[in-house]
Structure formats: structure tokens, C-alpha cells
Chain A
């Protein structure tokens, strides 16, 4: 048994660690550790619902918009349950759809190009992946340039990005005119053109496999497909298998029918179950057996107290809690959404990724690319449907008493905010993030989180280079500050692994998935 430590994990958001135990060339156990605590829920209590949206919106500067909107939905739900609010106006619903859709495009681009892209650079160098050199690559620089366009689009309504301030409980703080909406659309269109035509995917795929690059088919599409092909060639479909259980809160609401463009539900035992909001809320609990929180901090999020730190727990190893649905771990994120929506555009997951519903490292990347294509035209349609003559805001008084739940589905997966308001003041607040679902700790039954399960069985012939583990961790697009540990229970051996280092020496490096020595590609 060997124990190895990787700390920090980089190219993710936040502090995180994983301890791996390796035996006979395989990961046999992993502990996923979240390494930061700030107490957002504690700080939110005693304030107004409006302030909660402001504070939680700034919990994360990478997924800023979603917390703000999810908190707003929770406050609106509470106000509606109290009879103090009729719901946000039609324009606000459409605008939230469009804004979060733009955010999907932004986040998926940043993740694919800047965060996981370098993990696969060497394998696809011949297919043009040198375009994604983290400093010099034209593709990388093009992606950074285009992400600015998307942030500007969010800024037109929000005043700035990250941490926009215009999106508030009740709707939007301002009444954008037709020209502002047109400006947003033109920014989205520009990025869409850089990406390239959706229908070109098969041709681009063939080009990439043949080492050809046709800029007319879309520079963005070429680069994204290069990542997918490179990852496939490295065997990313063979690692990182989760339990094939997925959960999504659903997103993109039709303001007239209230139907969700990407549906709400779970997938387990090979079947999709579309669920109501109440059924989702009912099914969720949190466990703190291995968390640096007291036992009382767990339970149903509609009842539990805010997380209370307890650093003296012997077995604890994470600042995260372990959320479960019907007692089961659930994978969340783009793959979960598309499996539950029964979407596999161009059969990419079926052919490249080893099956449309298979949970693995490659399929998480493919789903991100597919979702980018699925959402981008919708964003323009939602913006088109806005009528600037109608209101964008429906205010409600703070002084109500009620409980509310906001279910949201940011790019990284299912997000829930729970709020209890007493005479205008928050008495209880709970947040369950996508990253908790994917890479939280194990629970009291010993059931590992999705990540902890996904890396078990990962071949690690050379403990100094468990590169597949790193790729698997990043495939979840985790949003926290991270580090990864591998340690030996009998303490007879300890080393610190040196994971993938593409980009060192100023060029693309090499990072095969197993333990093969790092080749000198350059």
C-alpha cells in the first residue's frame, strides 16, 4: 500500500485535496478533501433575503451568476409561499435563461481551453493542439479573447463581471432597452461565429483525425474537437467511471409553460425519472460523518442547522459535506443534464466516449462541448423573446415570513439554496453546491463521493505519475480550492506525486494516462 500526496491541484477553482491509497498498481481508495471554509451560511443568517443574494453571489467569482440567481429564486419562493409575491415577470425569466446560457458558454470555454486542455496537449499536437499552448497558442488566446465578449454580454445587464450587481431578487435592477439587448445578442453571435457551425461537427472531427485544420469550419470547434479526440486517444473513456447515477435540477424555464429546456430528474438503474421540485427537495440529505462539522450540521437541508465547525473529529478530512439523494451519491453536471434530457448530439458520447450514458472522464468533456452547441442558439431565442416594453422587475417587501427553496442548474451541476425568513430576517440558510455532489467526502455508510468512486481502479503503475487521477479530478470542473493526497496507512512509504506538467519549458508537454514516463514530445 502506497500513499501519495498531490497538493495543490491546480487549474481548478479553489482549494481541494485527495488522498489516494495505491495497491498493486491501482487506486484502491481515495479521500477527496475540500480545504477551505469561510462560513457563508453562518454569515447570511440575520440578514435580509436581498443581502443573501448579494453575499452568496460572491461566494464564487467563477460561478458568480448562478449563486446570485439561485438565492434570488429561493427568496422569491419564500415570498411566494408567504403570499407576498406573485413571481418574477416574464422578461426576468427569459433574461435569467439567457444570462445563465451565456454563462454556460463562458464556463465551458474556460474549462475546456484553459483548465483541462493542457492535460491533453501532447496527444493531439499532430492534430493542431499546439494551438492550445497555454501561453502562445492561437486557439488558447482566441478563447481568452472570446470569453471577454461573453463577460461583456453579462455586463450589459449586470454592470460588471465577475460579480455583476444588476441581477436581483424580483428580476433585473434596470430596464434594458432594445439596443442593449441587441448589443448582447451581437456579442453572443460573435462568439458563436468563432465557435463555428454546429452541423460541421462530423467534418471537423474527420479533419482533426486526419490532422487537417480548416478555419472556415470554426476555429473554436476545431480546438474543442481536438481536445476530445486527444483525450479519447489517451484512453480518457476508460478512466474515471462513476456509478452511472445522475441528478439534475433542470434549467431554462419557458416563462409561459414553466417547462424546462433541460429537464429535472434523476437517472439510475438505466432509467430516467423526471421528478417534481417537491420530489427533489424531499430526496436530499447531507451527511457530516467525515466532515469537519458537528453531527447536528447534517440531515435534510430544509431542517439542518448551518454547518458548525468541529476540527477535532478524528475521521474527518473535508470542509465539504456529503449530499445524497435517496441515500445515494449522484453525479451532477453537463453529462448528468444531457443523460436526463436524452441528448447525445452527433452520437459523440456513444462513439467516442464508450456509450451515451456512461460516466467517465471523457464523457464529461464531451458533454461540455455538446452542451455549448445545444445552448448557444437558444440564448439568442430567449433574448429575442424579451419585450423591452414589459417590466423586468417585480419587487416584493422584505418583511414576510416564509420558507423557500431555489433549485438551479449552473454549468457545473445541481445547485440548491434553502432559506427560512422570519419577519424579513433570515433565520436559516443552506447551500448545496454541484462540487459537493461530485467531490465531497464519503458518508456515514462508507459510501464514497462520485470522485472518490471514480478514481478507484484507476491504473497507477508509477505512484509518482497518477496522471489519470488528475485528469479525472479536472473533468468534474470542480469549483473550490484544491489539493490531492495519496498516503500510506502503514506509513512505510510516502512520496509526493509529480503530475502532468504540460506547458513546462514553454511548450506542450506530454501526459499519458497511465504511468508511462513523460515523453519528450517537444
Chain B
């Protein structure tokens, strides 16, 4: 398999000249990346509003579909504060022509209201392909329940932008977690739950690896279980403003999904001192009780959740890796130390922590420490990083369940 190169995505899109940044508009994703913790949306809420209004000269049609969803991403987006969802809906005139949870209409009226060529198609929840009947909405002309896989394949090519919201729509999420006992011959992935362009860390989504929406972009993956509300609203603001978000290897906007949780962890001091919690509720770094922070990329350590209230590691909970493809089995069992993928062989938490202390003592740079311990990314050394991250699946054809590490 070959993962799309992030650079090629943005270069190709800018090269055709149709989506180049306008000097009068600001790339809010870049703003978000450079801002201090938790302040960006507050600080730029007016500009975001103006940008959306400029971009929405007339009504924009948004269709929000739910596959094998739990509605958690919808609920999460409802917690967005700046701007709030209701402001987006009314002031910015985003026209949600279909959303199962909030739309007033029902039945065929609801289906009829759905745009067949939306400006923005948002999908929440995974899409079952082995048992298409496992998620349906509305009916076919024959009166049969219509599978989500059909809806997605019809609507996505007609959409200007396609956003996968949450880990399920991005990568399959927990419905794609392994059927460990292979019960009932259903296969490792019980219903064949997939994301739009990925299944876990492989390009086996329902739309295929070559899919691009009307704007020439792949599906923009806003991973997370659930998605962070800012990610949704800022990404919409960015693309409607004519900017091309820079995407990582899993098509996640880099400003949100580049920071390593481990690097910004509030418990990082414990790690560096080699102080580890042995059971939940203990003081210390949580790596030994299953923290996925060294392998997980998102900025919510600094952005925080629920209007800056808290974040997982602030309440003693190990990072569960919910922003990552392979989330569940890559980090399961959750209470145990995640198996390390080091360029230099296996390493224990104690060694890693003490390496940090030693490094500080003799003035070794953080990059060298991370390199030595196999944690995280190294600026300017992306090949090594890519090799470390990609080697498990690049060496073999992916299998159902994707439990290679």
C-alpha cells in the first residue's frame, strides 16, 4: 500500500490555482496551530464568523449522515463554544439539509430535504460493507432499507468537500475492532465496518484510495472518539474560505493532529523523573498502565475539551489513542503498557524515563532522547519517523482487524 503524501495533496491543489489562499483571508488552521493553548477560537471567533459569512454568499448545503454511529460526535460538536453550533447554523447560514438528530423533518420529507450535491458532506460513524444491512436509512425505490454504503457512494462524488467526523468514519473506530474469538465466522471485523477512505491503518475505505471530492481533496479525516468540536468548525471555516488544509499521512489536518500527546502531557514531568503510576489513581506517569500518549497525535493537551475545562490526562486517565488509526486494538488491552515500536529495540518505561533524566543532566537534546527511546517524532527526520510508524503495515498486506502491533 502507499499512503498519500501530505505534501503532494496540498501542492497539487494549490498548483491548479483554483484554491490558492487569498490575501484577504486567513488560514484558520494555521492560526490555530500557532496560538496559545485554548485561546484560538475565542480570540478569532469574529474573524471565523466573517470568514464563514464571506464564504457563504448564499446558503451552503450541508448533509450529515450517520453510519454505525453513536451520535457522540454530534453531541461533541454541540459542546463547541466559539462559535456555537447554533451560531453556525443561523448566523453563518450553513444549511444542514439533513441531520438525523437535529432536523425537524422526518420520513420521506427528511430524505427529500437532503441535498444531492452538498457543499459539505459530513459522515459520522463507520460504514459496514460485509453486512450492508447493519446500517440503513431511508428506502430504495423498491421499498427496501437503503444501506449507508450506497448513500455514501452516491453523495461523496457529488460533494465539494467530504469530512469524516470521528474515528469511526475516519478509520472504522470500535465497530472495526477485532472479533477476537472469530465468533460465528463473521471475520475479524464483525460487520466489515470501514471508514470512508481507511480501514484502520490501511487504505481500504468505502470510497477507495483515489477518491477526491469536487474540490480535489481526499476525505478530510477529523479523527477522535469523539471528534473535538473545534476541529469540525475550524476545518469547515478553513475549506469554505478557500484554503487547502495541510494533511498528514492519514488525511488529518496537521495543525490539529501533528502535536504528540506525550510531548505536551501534563504528567510529562513524572515521566522525565521516572515516576510511574502502578494502578489507576496513583500519582505518576501513566505509561505503565496503558497510556498511548507516545503514539497519539492531537493538540487536545493544550486545546483541552469542553471549552477549556479538562483533558483525559488531567483526570488520571491514560491516553487511549482515540485520534489514531488502529484505535482499539493497537492500544489494547487498555490497562497495560503499550508495546513499544522502537527503532532500537524494545525499551521499558523505566529506561525511557531515566534516559530523559540522564539526557537533561548531560544536555542531550530532546530529539536525541526521543530517538534513543523510540518515542514520538523527530523534526527534520520524517523519513525515520515514517519508517518507524509505517513499517508494520508496509511489510505485509493488511489483514482484517489490523492488530499488527
**Which A residues lie at the B interface, using CB under 8 A?**
5-15, 17, 35-40, 42-43, 45-48, 50-51, 54-55, 58-62, 64, 114, 118, 134-136, 140-141, 144-145, 147-148, 151-152, 155-166, 168, 170-175, 292, 306, 308-309, 311, 319, 391-393, 395, 398, 470, 481, 483-484, 487, 494, 496-504, 509
Contact = CB atoms under 8 A, between A and B. Distances in A.
Contacts of A55: 174, 177, 328
B334 A502 contact: no
Contacts of A37: 128, 131, 133-135, 191
Contact of A15 (B104, B137, B180): B137
Contacts of A172: 281, 315-316
B183 interface: yes
Contacts of A136: 90
A42 B193 CA distance: 14
Given A7-B139, A395-B279, 8 more contacts: A58-B174, A141-B86, A145-B84, A151-B306, A155-B305, A161-B305, A311-B133, A483-B137
Contact of A38 (B68, B145, B333): B68
Interface in B305-330: 305-307, 309-317, 320, 322, 328
Given A35-B145, A159-B310, A165-B315, A6 B106 contact: yes
Contacts of A10: 99-106, 110
B309 to A, nearest CB: 4
B71 A155 contact: no
B109 A498 contact: yes
A393 B183 contact: no
Contact of B102 (A42, A134, A152): A134
B394 to A, nearest CB: 27
5 contacts: A160-B305, A306-B183, A392-B281, A498-B107, A501-B109
Contacts of A170: 280-281
Interface in B142-162: 143, 145
B74 interface: yes
A7 B109 contact: no
B139 A58 contact: no
A6 B191 contact: no
B136 interface: yes
A466 to B, nearest CB: 10
B333 A155 contact: no
Interface string B58-78: 000000001011111111101
Given A43-B177, A62-B75, A481-B69, A309 B131 contact: yes
Contacts of A497: 107-108
Nearest to B103: A10
Given A309-B131, A496-B107, A395 B183 contact: no
Given A38-B134, A174-B315, A501-B104, A45 B180 contact: yes
A118 B184 CA distance: 43
Q: What 9 pairs across the A-B complex have the smallest Cβ distances?
A: A61-B72, A46-B180, A503-B104, A174-B316, A393-B281, A160-B305, A39-B190, A6-B107, A173-B316
Nearest to B124: A61
B311 A175 contact: no
Interface residues of B, number: 80
A172 B85 CA distance: 31
A39 B193 CA distance: 10
B74 A61 contact: yes
Contact of A54 (B105, B184, B310, B334): B334
B186 A391 contact: no
Interface of B: 66, 68-76, 78-79, 81, 84-86, 89-90, 99-111, 128, 131, 133-139, 143, 145, 174-175, 177-181, 183-184, 186, 190-191, 193, 225-226, 279-281, 300, 305-307, 309-317, 320, 322, 328, 332-335
A494 B317 CA distance: 54
A306 B186 CA distance: 13
A36 B134 contact: yes
A160 B323 CA distance: 14
A440 to B, nearest CB: 17
A157 B315 contact: yes
A477 to B, nearest CB: 12
Contacts of A14: 66, 69, 71
Given A43-B179, A58-B70, A155-B306, A175 B75 contact: no
B105 A501 contact: yes
A509 B106 CA distance: 14
- Residue from A60, A161, A292, A470 with most neighbouring chain B CB atoms (10 Å): A161
A71 to B, nearest CB: 13
B107 A160 contact: no
Nearest to A134: B104
Given A391-B281, A498-B109, A500-B106, A46 B90 contact: no
Contact of A51 (B181, B183, B334): B334
Contacts of A161: 79, 305-306
B223 to A, nearest CB: 13
Contacts of A156: 309-310, 315
B66 A64 contact: no
A481 B186 CA distance: 23
A148 B79 contact: yes
A38 B107 CA distance: 24
Contacts of B101: 10-13
A152 B181 CA distance: 38
B315 A61 contact: no
Given A8-B138, A174-B281, A45 B181 contact: yes
Contacts of B75: 61-62, 162
Nearest to A392: B281
Nearest to B147: A35
A93 to B, nearest CB: 15
B138 A483 contact: yes
B77 to A, nearest CB: 10
B59 to A, nearest CB: 12
A43 B178 contact: yes
A380 to B, nearest CB: 19
A319 B71 contact: no
Contacts of B99: 10
A42 B190 contact: yes
A140 B190 CA distance: 40
B279 A158 contact: no
B78 A36 contact: no
Contacts of B137: 7-8, 15, 35, 481, 483
A159 B317 contact: yes
A11 B104 contact: yes
Contacts of A160: 300, 305-306, 309-312
Contacts of B306: 148, 151-152, 155, 160-161
Given A38-B175, A39-B191, A61-B226, A50 B333 contact: yes
Of A36, A64, A498, most buried by chain B (CB within 10 Å of CB) is A36
Given A11-B101, A64-B72, A165 B66 contact: no
A395 to B, nearest CB: 4
A507 to B, nearest CB: 11
Given A10-B100, A46-B180, A47-B332, A504 B305 contact: no
B70 A7 contact: no
B71 to A, nearest CB: 5
B185 to A, nearest CB: 10
